[in-house]
Structure 1
Amino acid sequence: MNITFWGTGDAMGVPRVYCSCAVCEEARAGGENRRFRSLIQLDDASFGTLLIDCGPDWRAGMEAAGLRDNVTLLITHAHFDHIAGLPEYADMCRWLGRKGKAYAMPDTIHEILARFPWLGSQIVFIPIQEPLTFGDWDVRCWKVNHGKNGHAYAYRFSNASTGRSFAYCSDSIALEGEELEPLGGLDVLILGTSFYEEPYPFETRSVYDVREGLRLIDQLKPGKTWFTHMSHDIDVARDYGLPAGTAFARTGLTISV
């Protein structure tokens, strides 16, 4: 399976329109730190193309990827930066004369349709009530702590024939117990880390920072970890001394599992 990062930014993306910090200015000039909101494209011969999330930069991602048709979506949760592209996705489906397809947990679907009730006429929302299968991959979805923002969901993809697995956990913090179990034994972990070391009180936070992420990785020991969901606090051109097998994802990066 190939995984392409359409976006690796947090809810506001980089550059932030109000900010003139060095990272935002470098991003504004088209540099390495330019980050759309977090979204990944999955491509595998056994199932075709899937997207995880459909945020406000979805259209730009479709253009960059050269995709012109409706694609299947997996949704992690109903926050703006993960679903704001759904109206455009629905409009594309309408013009194509086809129904879109989006998988999500039942509470996420309820929240989406409460906010955008017309989407149901163009998108078939499929509630996740048991493990999914896409081609050769078994997919598990489970609830993760999202701090002050409540909860989100993460996805683990496992291929029994190859023994390969990866997980996408973009919006989480302070995971413990059953939340951590699906993150064990991974070949690839994609983990959200908004700051290198977030300075704000813990009760106001919603996503791991890099230092916390490194401690989690030391516990889980995945084969490779890519950090995503990054704010303008993180400069991907800077050497933070990350351990081997750990790196910041970049816009347009494609990896294989």
Structure 2
Amino acid sequence: MSFRRSDAGVSNYKHFLGVDLVAYVEGKTDVAYWETLFVRFRPDLKVRYEKKEGVENLADIIDAVILGRISNVVVCRDADYVPLIAGWTTNNRILRTHGYSFENDFITPEAAATVARLIAPEQIDETFLQRAFRRYLAKLSKLGEWLLRLDVGFSATGEGLIVRTNPRDLMTGDDRRGYDFSENDARARLAGRGQQNAAAAIDFDQHGSIYPRYFCGHSMLFVLFNWCRVIVQRRAGRPQNASNGVIMHHLFSHYERLVATSTREFMARQLAAV
């Protein structure tokens, strides 16, 4: 443990481990995600992953990297709303997800079709699934974009509008029929805010559409998995059981094929600069 008690100790920790870099990440699942990216885009590097259980526990390391006090490390974190609210501090040793968190990488028609086919008891046409998910996502985006911009604005000044710990928040429907946003619930919550911490004025034009890229990743993954189960039930019968861990491993294994080109290129550029 003495290697971690000083900046010099942190910088030299890689020598103790016999690796090229030590990567500090937020949690267990993040290790699997970032390991997938380093294997694909930087196979020349031997990396040791250290999970810190939350972005708040990465703060001291991030500050030390920015100030140049430590070396031989990278910090891999969720972007959250930081690029939208405060802008991102560019540093080749501080890596971020393309969207809110790594889950958002997989909110694509390709990933949706892959998950649905994985749990389907019989084959479903891949093109059909991709088109169906694209339509569903377009439907969600009509309210999702508006809600997300409000949540970012409120989060910049205090408490956000969306309860991010509840993936069903401000949604109507159920696990059998599927989910959509409830405009009535959203407007009622907005009206209930009154004058409580007004939303910050944020210029979103430079970012283009931010839904689903910056919507809470856990919520988006819930929506994706539920949609897959619903569409499979309708087209092929009862979905087969598959844990979230098994599904995520499958998605990670086919990362480059399933994520958007813009996401893949963004992550490749980041890792190339390490």
Q: Flag the structure with larger Rg.
A: 2
TM-score range, shorter chain: under 0.3
Structure richer in strand, relative to its length = 1
TM-score, normalisation: structure 2: 0.24
Pick 1 or 2: higher relative contact order, CA cutoff 8 A, min separation 6: 2
Name the one with the larger helix percent: 2
